[in-house]
Structure 1
Amino acid sequence: MPYPQAPQNEQEEPLPDIGGSHQRPHALSEYNYPLPRPLFRHRTHKMVQLTETGNFTVEIPVPDDLLSRAAYTEDKEFTHMKYTAVTGDPDEFVKNDYTLRQVEMERETEIFIVVTMYNEDETLFLRTWKSIVKNIAHICSKRKSDVWGPDGWKKIVVCVVSDGREKASSIHPKTLSAIGILGAYQEGVIKTHVDTTGTSAHVFEYTTQKYIDTDYKIKGANMFRKYDLVPIQLLFCLKEKNAKKINSHRWFFNAFGRVLNPNVCVLIDVGTKPSDKSIYKLWKAFHNDSMVGGACGEIYVEKGPFWYKLLNPLVAAQNFEYKMSNILDKPFESCFGFISVLPGAFSAYRYKALRSSNEEAGPLAKYFLGEKMHDTASVGTANMYLAEDRILCFELVTKRKERWILKYIKDAHAETDVPNTLAEFISQRRRWLNGSFFAGVHSITRFYQIFRSGHSGARKFGLLIQTLYNVINLIFNWFSIANFYLIFYFLVGGTLTNPNDPLYKAWPGIAYLFVGFQQLYLFALLLCFLAALGNRPQGTRIVYFMCFFLFGVIMLISLIVSGYAMYRSFPQTPEEWGGSSALIVLFSRPVFRDLLVSISATYGAYFISSFIYLDPWHMFTSFLQYMVLLPSFTNILMVYAFCNLHDISWGTKGDTITPTFVAPVIVKREEDGRVVADVDLPVEKQDINLKYQEFMAALGKDNSKKNKKTKNSKKAKTEKEQEDYFRYFRTRVVLFWMASNLLLVSALTTPSVAQVLNISTSGSNTNNPYLTVIMWSVAILSVMRFIGSIVFLVKK
């Protein structure tokens, strides 16, 4: 069915300014709830018949403005918004006979998109919404496809899940206004109780024909045709209480997914902006290969106009990390069919692959296990489920008797914003590092699950090779702070304290310079431990800035000395050449050989692969910033992460606020046996239109207010005991981690041990087995990643 014609004289809607804001009076009800202000001008009582199972579902007419510039104006999905007050757990959604409009209209769902959000503002929501709208329009433009076409939007459902309604930092009021403008929310409809049962989620359904641009312009049907846009089936789930992102995904997968039974589920975090064709390219990977169980695209850093955000060294360093991960790591893992983590910000799964089989619980059951065990789990398990998406990927690939693979789709891109302050960056990486470490241990120790899968013998062998690669990386990460210090100690110290070096002969005091920087290194490391124990990064910004600065200076010195050491390794006179070939002479000198191999393999892989992938710009805009901040990433982030193992929160603890009183649904039984509800609902079009105008006015001006947090000083004894246990476990892990790293440093820097191991720092050309092992190991791992990325590109 072609898209209907719209009026030709319609233009963009201006944002009205109706002036003023409605303040709730301070009077209290008999239940000590704040009494709400009158929402409507007219009588609003309405008798609503409940479903056969006693569920409260009602359809409310939408404001006239939603239809004034619409292409479709007759069907109920456009003229009415459906609201359902869902009681019970998301796992009971199907059991309690809740349903969704797509099922009622007998539509199949090919793509089910979820946008999860917490308290993000309307700017982040609109940038994500704009990209989703354009992606769906592109999918519907595939007129020669056997799946898509002009009516392809009927096979796509967009689900927006907001984590909490009544917490101080839950859904942003302007974001709620934006969703109201799209038609998927109306004030006065929400019911917090159905009879005596509390509502767990408020589900709004509407097929919207409105489009809000990131510059807050609201566009109607003619603008839809101009941009080739289409209607969108929008499902808005506003959870009553905050229960974290994993619970939002449980509503998406276990509640709505079981009803719609989609083919492909796409996960997007609010603020992430997929490019116009990315969702289609993800879907196409599933369509072309029936064994693809999950896929992800490239997530890149938002750089801003003229890439001005890269002027911040922290953003530039993260840009380099993201790029090299997408050029080396993801393609390498994709060759094995097992990507360790599909980023929750932009990834997709085949719903069939995630479900449980007849024999055992499926990947989704393992994925949601962490949500219910946080209060009783061990510290390791609790931290592991900070990276529950890694658990999902591992369980999916090793699913019993099946052979699902995970795939990287290079051409699917999504832009995301990254932390631009030290405090925010450190807090984010704490979750990432702790979650990935314990999730990595989980997958390594359960490598035997590979053999229960239905993969071929060759792929199982490849997965074992990948597991060995992960073991080596895990060991290197554990000893990272010791390795970094020892490289600095041997390389810089061996050059600056060498009595035979011309630089030392010209200025013997340079040895004291090394001692000074060595003490600064240890001082900065000590500061990291002191700041990490019992302090938030937001409260110790100056200390962390000092640490970043000191490690940055030390890294610059290390780079300069490394270059000088390689230069001094060259024969300086004809006698030193001795008539031999240049390669024989150079590779007979350990420092030159090891540095050349390590640097060529690592940074050569960076440069060559970036150019082969036709994406080299980060090498010129972000490489230096990454190199300078590398010791800070290793030392500061690792120390803070391990020193805060006891913290398994996402920073949302304690944000409670007095709940707003909402008149409950009063259930009655009529004489004819019908079960009805006497409720307050918007029934007059004047009231509905007025509230819609308020949504548009609220979106156009800054009227947000800071909510006050209330603290509950009383804690249960069990919570105290659990907190003590978590802290004690943290202490033991940190002590063991510090002891093992200190033991390595002490062993290799003790003269007697160094003599036994033939380790010397007396010259730039002397043998150092430790440096040789480290540098050759780094080179081998880099070469493996490089080969994997090339193989991926050739296969593509």
Structure 2
Amino acid sequence: MQETAADQHEGGHDTIARYSKKHVAASKGNFVLSVGVSSKILKHAAYQDGDEFTSMSYTAVTCEPDDFPGRYDLRQRRYNRQIKIALVVTMYNEDEALFVKSILAAQKNIAYLCSDQCPKSWGQDGWKNFVIVIVSDGRQKINPRVLTVLGVMGLYVDGVCRSSVNGDPVTAHIFEYTTQIAVDRSLNIRTRKEGIFPTQIIFLLKEKNAKKINSHKWFFDVVCEVIQPEVTMLLDVGTKPTAVSFYHLYRAFERNPLVGGACGEIAAEVGKNCEKLLNPLVATQNFEYKMSNILDKPLESVFGYISVLPGAFSAYRYRALRGEPLRKYFLGEKPGADIFTSNLYLAEDRILCFELVTKKDEAWYLKYVKSAVAETDVPDKLPELISQRRRWLNGSFFASVHALTNCTQIFQSPHSNWQKALFAVEFVYNAVNLLFSWISLANFYLAFYFMFKVSENVNSDSLPFGSASSNVSIVLRELYIFAIVAIFISSLSNRPQGSKWLYYGISALFSLIMGITLYVGGWSIYQAINNFNHRMTTNGVKQSAWEYFRSTTVFRDLVVSLLSTYGLYLISSIIHLDPWHCLTSMAQYMLILPTYNNIFMIYAFCNLHDVSWGTKGDNKIVDDKPMVAQKAGKAGEQVFEVEIPTESDDIDAAWSAHLGKMETYRGNPFDDGGKVDPATKKEDACKEFRTRIVLSWIITNALLIALFTNDQFVDKTFHPDPQNAVNSYLTFLFWSVAILSAVRFIGCVVYIALWWGEKTSDAASAPPIHKRA
């Protein structure tokens, strides 16, 4: 059953809730308030009795997260519940559409875990084992529309929050309620008639804006320390897991007690009928995400160490995180860190993964779960994508350096010798990838440069652009160099949002150059095949196709390199039974690849001094009426005076007011006007660090280009045939790509074999539906 706000409202929009003064006894000196929920919330509820359904609890927290467990309590501990999964949903100022997308998806997952359709069903009371923790970063920053939705679900009441209690500033506001209502993306209410199970929710509204990592601190050090969940899951608002994703992710921990962390597939949201793929930026990210989940994550999972479990959707065994991993994870929120550490903690989830697998006295490893899928919105505009990748690239680069320089920690763990050997191989593989990432600017230019040289050597009588080929090559090289210089200049002085047309123009130029380069590569292969046929038919040379391929160096290297990249994409996708992105997004990815390699990399390195993640610098405390405890009663106990709806009609009116507001949101998406906070002043030391890194990077790549575009590196002594005149570095480059691709392919195949084995085992061990609890 789906009811609109108009159906539920009954009293109309003119009903006004009356607020009455109420004295609330202090709980150990703390302000903890129980607020009755509207009878309309319970109208279609499966459970209509019991404190967790009939009242919402509010706690004004006046301490830091580390001190919470000894001073406050949460309902789950009071009810003595064994929590299997605690899910944290972090948000900032996202609108109600993104919020309900994630929360409804989580509620559907709870329903699946408790249903007969689940192979390992928790049973009808299984919802008691699951808690959703919503952490919002700053009371002034939260979208008021989201508060309205929370009010409709029974998790928020206007006028309760206070900035201080007995003179102590409030650090967080905690609302607890077990709701039996869900709100869908059309802002319709769903109840048990649509399969919604009761959902234990803790809404933690931080008073100040203090970044996402601080939100995780409130989750781990406050909620998890109190309720002690078996598994913790992380989800960003706007990310939508499928209805079975939580089950598959949790099963990874059930199957193997040594799994300390796991992640599923993050998929780009492509829209209804794949309409979003019409945007080439979305299509490119769709292909990128898919190939990462087909090649990179499976390989790392086979090794046992996944370099990053995405914060948008991942899970950890709480017992594995306690101690050193969480301590290192939260170092990133401490002020005064140097520039290296600040960049390192742009990728704090990578630090957490490294510390987990290298934890002393405990042998944990990380796993990728292919069956657990979650969709997420991706940037559809170039400036936003550049800003996102600046954080990702800088964070991942410094985190990789940190992991490699501290890789010996793995030998202090109690992992088996076989597992340590696998880790060592992975660290070598990561070191090679890091080196290639450092020189990728030069390698990309050299590949473009050599492609034209190859086309001239294959058949000098037939060139890709005829007599104009030489001029085309020269013009494109000059344009390429101009584009690189323009990116460096703009990256050192302009925000992407402020120079968006410059970036769009350069990106289009790179796509044109890439398209021509791919054409030249295809032309070279075509001409090489023609040369073989010509030898066989005209010159009468008896040579097998394999012998020609083996002996014709240029042709061989080019074919091997192309097959080991684009061929690998297609073959591995077919093995994973997921090839459709190759048809819808591969061409866009190939054309926009130079933007990733050049624009994103240059902008990231040129802005190493910018270590902002998401804090907007607004940490003002809301100036509202403070909560003051007074002496009252014969025993002189402390009480607080608060104004809230107390009568049944007034409580219903307050809920109807929330519902009436939500009714007006349909067809009126939230728009913050694109406001931009003022840029913070950068310290000279940070800029100096940035300058040293960028200069080292430029010099390294420039030397490579100058060295290997020198004709002295073309070996014609032993191969007078132009088809065998080869640049030594080009051969090294092509075969390096082939070897790295082979490693990825082996990991992909091994993972899919293990995955099928797990599926078969689960299917064989699943009890019949009628015998489940």
- The alignment's TM-score, normalised by the length of structure 2, stands at 0.92
Q: Tell me the secondary structure at the aligned position of residue 63 of structure 1.
A: coil
Superposed CA deviations along residues 364-419 of structure 1, whole A, max 9, x for unmatched, are: 111111111xx321212111111111110111011102111111111111111111
- Deviation sequence 1:541-596 (CA, Å, 0-9, x none): 11111111111011111111111112233323336673122211222111111111
1:443 pairs with 398, 403, 411, which one? 403
| Structure 1 position 204 matched with structure 2 position 164 | no
Are 1:316 and 2:290 matched, yes or no? no
Pairwise CA distance, 1:70:
1.8
* Offset from partner CA, 1:442-468 (integer Å, 9 cap, x none): 101111011011110011001000000
Counterpart for residue 245 of structure 2: 278
Match of 2:345 in 1: 385
Equivalent pair of 1:664/1:679 in contact (CA under 8 Å): no
User: In structure 1, which of residues 121, 125, 139 is the aligned counterpart of residue 113 of structure 2?
Assistant: 139
Question: In structure 2, what residue type is equivalent to 1:14?
Answer: A
Q: Aligned equivalents of 1:335 and 1:410: distance in 2?
A: 13
Corresponding residue number in structure 2 for 1:14: 6
Change (3 A) 1:712 1:625: closer
Equivalent position amino acid for 2:499 in 1:
T
Cα offset, 1:145, TM superposition: 7.9
Distance in 1, matches of 2:621 and 2:11, equals: 27
Give deviations 1:308-351, integer Å, cap 9, x for gaps.
11111111111111111111111111001111111111111000
Identity of counterpart residues, as a percentage? 48
Partner of 2:580: 617
Which residue identity does 1:567 align to in structure 2? Y
Instruction: Indicate whether 1:300 and 2:267 are aligned.
Output: yes
Aligned-pair CA distance for 1:677: 2.0
SS in 2 for 1:672: coil
Per-residue deviation, 1:505: 11
Q: Which residue of 2 aligns with 1:82?
A: 57
Secondary structure of the residue aligned to 2:642 is strand
| Matched residue, 1:682 | 645
Say if 1:709 and 1:483 are closer, same or farther in 2 by CA, change over 3 A: closer
Secondary structure in structure 2 of the residue aligned to 1:675 = strand
Q: 1:41 aligns with which of 15, 18, 27?
A: 18
Count residues with an aligned counterpart: 746
Aligned match for 2:598, one of 627, 631, 635: 635
Deviation at 1:680, TM superposition (A): 3.0
CA deviations over 1:486-540 (Å, ceiling 9, x no partner): 11112214425x5961135994332111100111111111111122112111111
Alignment partner of 1:153 is 2:127: yes
2:505 counterpart residue number: 546
Between the aligned partners of 2:478 and 2:349, the Cα distance in structure 1 is 41
Contact persistence 1:143–1:149 (CA under 8 A): no
**Are residues 181 and 300 of structure 1, via their aligned partners in 2, closer, same or farther at CA, if it must alter by over 3 Å?**
same
Question: CA 1:45–1:205 in 2, change beyond 3 Å: closer, same or farther?
Answer: same
Kindly provide the CA deviation profile for residues 149-174 of structure 1, in whole angstroms up to 9, marking residues without a partner as x: 110001111111111112xxx21111
- 1:528/1:17 CA distance change after superposition, 3 Å: farther
Matched, 1:778 2:737: yes
Equivalent position amino acid for 2:374 in 1: A
Matched, 1:649 2:612: yes
Q: Secondary structure at the match of 2:76?
A: helix
| Equivalent residue, structure 1, for 2:555 | 592
- 1: CA distance between counterparts of 2:582 and 2:385? 22
The answer to whether the 8 A contact 2:163-2:622 is kept is no
Q: Structure 1 stretch 67-76 or stretch 332-341: which is displaced more?
A: 67-76
Aligned-partner residue type, residue 32 of structure 2: T
Judged with a 3 Å threshold, the aligned counterparts in structure 2 of structure 1 residues 132 and 758 are, in CA distance, closer, same or farther, namely farther
CA distance in structure 2 between the partners assigned to 1:777 and 1:465 by the alignment: 16
CA pair 738-152 structure 1, distance change in 2 beyond 3 A: same
Q: Which residue is 2:184 aligned to?
A: 213
Q: CA deviation at 1:647?
A: 0.8
Letter in 2 for 1:155: N
The answer to whether the 8 A contact 1:565-1:764 is kept is: no
**What is the distance in 2 between the residues matched to 1:301 and 1:505?**
37
User: Which secondary structure state, in structure 1, belongs to the residue aligned with residue 170 of structure 2?
Assistant: strand
> Relative contact order (C-alpha < 8 Å, sep 6+): which is higher?
2
Deviations 1:677-732 (A, max 9, x none): 2333333334432222221122222476758979789x8xxxx6x62211111111
Q: Deviations over 1:104-154 (max 9, x none)?
A: 111111110111111111111111111111100011115998882110001
- 2:766 maps to which residue? none
Distance 1:208 1:760, change over 3 A: farther
Q: 1:709 to 1:46 in 2, by over 3 A?
A: farther
d(CA) in 2 for partners of 1:175, 1:367: 29
Conserved? CA contact 2:207–2:621, under 8 Å: no
2:770 matched residue in structure 1: none
Q: Does 1:231 find its partner at 2:198? A: yes
Structure 1 gaps of 5+ residues are 1-8, 23-38, 357-361
* Deviation for aligned residue 1:74: 1.5
Is this contact kept in 1: 2:713–2:728, CA < 8 A?
Answer: no
Q: 1:229 to 1:706 in 2, by over 3 A?
A: closer
Residue of structure 1 equivalent to 2:747: 788
Which region of structure 1 is more displaced relative to structure 2, 669-678 or 206-215? 669-678
Match status 1:70 vs 2:70: no
Contact 1:87 1:201 in 2 (8 A): yes
What corresponds to 1:527 in structure 2?
486
The 3-state SS of whatever aligns with 2:203 is strand
User: How far 1:600 moved relative to its partner?
Assistant: 1.7
Unaligned runs of 5+ in 2: 756-773
Inter-CA distance 142–747: structure 2 relative to 1 (3 Å threshold): same
Q: CA 1:728–1:588 in structure 2 vs 1: closer, same or farther (change >3 Å)? A: same
Normalising by structure 1, we get a TM-score of 0.89
Mapped partners of 1:620, 1:45: distance in 2: 65
Structure 1: which amino acid aligns with 2:207?
A: E
Query: What is the Cα deviation at residue 791 of structure 1?
Result: 0.6
AA aligned opposite 2:55: H
In the alignment, residue 609 of structure 1 is paired with which amino acid? S
- Aligned CA distance change for structure 1 residues 177 and 494 (closer, same or farther; 3 Å): same
Correspondences of 1:660-699 after superposition (within 5 Å) = 660-670=622-632, 672-699=635-662
- In 2, the alpha carbon distance for the partners of 1:636 and 1:532 equals 9
Q: In structure 2, what is the equivalent of residue 6 of structure 1?
A: none
For residue 467 of structure 2, give the secondary structure of its aligned residue in structure 1: coil
525 and 394 in structure 1: CA distance in 2 versus 1, 3 angstrom threshold: same
Q: CA RMSD in A?
A: 2.6
Task: Give the structure 2 partner of residue 25 of structure 1.
Answer: none
Find the aligned partners of 1:453 and 1:287 in 2 and give their Cα distance: 23
Task: Please state how far the C-alpha of 1:13 moved relative to its aligned partner.
Answer: 4.9
Counterpart of 1:117 in structure 2 is 91
